[in-house]
Amino acid sequence: MKKNLLIFATKASFFLLICVSLALVGCERIPQQTDVILTSSTIRAIAIIGPASDSIVTGTATFTQNGAQITVLIDIQNASAGSHGVHIHENGDCSSPDGKSAGGHWNPTDVAHGKWGVGEYHLGDLGNITVGEDGTGSFELTTDLWEIGTGSDIDVVGKGIIVHADADDFTSQPSGNAGARIGCGVIMLAE
Ligand SMILES: [Cu+2]
Ligand SMILES: [Zn+2]
């Protein structure tokens, strides 16, 4: 009886040891993966979005690079609920109150306006951002069609981010009939 108990105890501790080891391995791996995603060193360019056309819209657009892939993450606040066109425009200039100083859509490949990933579309045709009743919305897109800080024709640095009053219909030329410019930001290289 005592022997059986000893065997059971030995088996139980061995099992426990394996569980603890697995847990430790698990703990070790999670922070490493998170580091890659969250460290500020992976943020390569940023635009602070401010109000235009008498709106109170605010937000940020961050561009991060992972190999050839660049991800833009846009967060906006204080916008009306619904769909708002969002684009990269050719000038990093938000000096005019209506945002028109940012110029037209960034279109280095000289093609028609359209929907990202479908037929012809400007390199600045991000699409629409969906804003909820709380006035906030986020948008994310990953592509290998841009560069950050290279000074080439497809470098996003020095361009503008514009948020519109209405949705982009992906069809109307030259800019999707998205209405007034309610948010504007200049894309700048990050530290
Ligand atoms: Cu636009
Ligand atoms: Zn466009």
Q: What is the pLDDT of residues 135-158, one digit of tens each?
A: 999 999 999 999 999 999 999 999
Q: Report the C-alpha gap between 161 and 171 in whole angstroms.
A: 20
Answering whether pTM is above 0.85, one says no
The angle formed by the CA atoms of residues 153, 157 and 159, to the nearest 5 degrees, is 85
Of 183, 187, 177, the residue nearest 113 (C-alpha): 177
Pairing of strands 69-77, 82-89: unpaired
pLDDT, tens digit, 9 for 90 and up, residues 62-109: 999 999 999 999 999 999 999 999 999 999 999 999 999 999 999 999
Return the structure tokens found at 1. Answer: 């009886």
Between the CA of 105 and the centroid of ligand 2 the distance, in Å, is 5
| CA 112 to ligand 2 center in whole angstroms | 7
pLDDT at 18 over 90: no
Ligand nearest to the Cα of 124, by number = 2
Domain 42-189 in CATH 2.60.40.200? The answer is yes
CA 166 / ligand 1 centre spacing (Å) = 10
Instruction: Provide the 3-class DSSP secondary structure of residue 61.
Output: strand
Lowest-pLDDT range, 36-40, 54-58, 129-133, 161-165? 36-40
Q: What residue ranges do the domains of the chain occupy?
A: 1-38, 42-189
Q: Could you give the count of Cα atoms lying within 13 Å of 57 in the half-sphere of its Cβ?
A: 34
Q: Beta strand pairing status for 137-143 and 160-164?
A: unpaired
Ligand 2 centre from 26 Cα, in Å? Answer: 45
Residue 14: CB partners within 8 Å, gap ≥ 6?
Answer: none
The chain-wide mean pLDDT, for the chain, equals: 86
Give the strand pairing for 82-89 and 160-164. antiparallel
C-alpha of residue 132 to centroid of ligand 2, in Å:
24
CA dihedral 110, 114, 117, 122 (to 10 degrees): 30
- Which ligand has an atom closest to residue 120 CA? 2
Ligand 2 centroid – CA 122 distance (Å): 5
State which residues have CB under 5 angstroms from ligand 1, the bound ion. 87, 162
